[in-house]
């Protein structure tokens, strides 16, 4: 996918659809390895929209037990809900949270 700045024509190539945060200052992209690239440059990435071109803030590849990530939703401006599809075909919930140390990807706790 190609993201083009309509004011200056600058381009950014993305590996999936950008999904804006509620405050529209960032977007998240999940790159599927299923039916897409065999080894995408990232599985999940967060970009900032503070400049003319989106700036990569954080990215993660696939881990040894995860086959894919799917976007579930933004929960505020600093938390992204995800689903991890494991290599055995099972799904588990995960979240990407911005804190003082930066973006952290963790398994989501369920109550």
pLDDT digits (tens, 9 = 90+) for 34-68: 545 556 678 899 999 887 788 999 998 878 888 88
Beta bridge partners of 69: 84
Out of 20-24, 28-32, 88-92, which region has the weakest mean confidence (pLDDT)?
28-32
Which residue, among 61, 58, 78, has the nearest Cα to 69 in the 3D structure? 61
Tell me the whole-structure pTM to 2 decimals: 0.84
Cα angle 69, 75, 80; round to 5? 25
Please tell me the predicted confidence (pLDDT) of residue 58. Answer: 94
Helix (H) or strand (E) holding 28: strand 26-30
CA neighbor of 40 nearest in space, from 69, 83, 9, 11 = 69
């Amino acid at each position: 996918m190609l993201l083009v700045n309509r004011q200056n024509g600058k381009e950014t190539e993305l590996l999936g659809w950008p999904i804006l945060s509620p405050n529209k200052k960032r977007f998240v992209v999940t790159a599927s390895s299923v039916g897409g690239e065999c080894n995408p440059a990232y599985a999940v990435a967060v970009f900032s929209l503070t400049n003319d071109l989106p700036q990569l803030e954080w990215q993660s590849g696939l881990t040894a037990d995860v086959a894919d990530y799917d976007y579930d939703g933004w929960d505020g401006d600093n938390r992204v809900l995800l689903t991890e599809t494991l290599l055995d075909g099972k799904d588990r919930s995960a979240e990407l949270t911005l804190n003082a140390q930066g973006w952290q990807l963790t398994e989501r706790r369920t109550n």
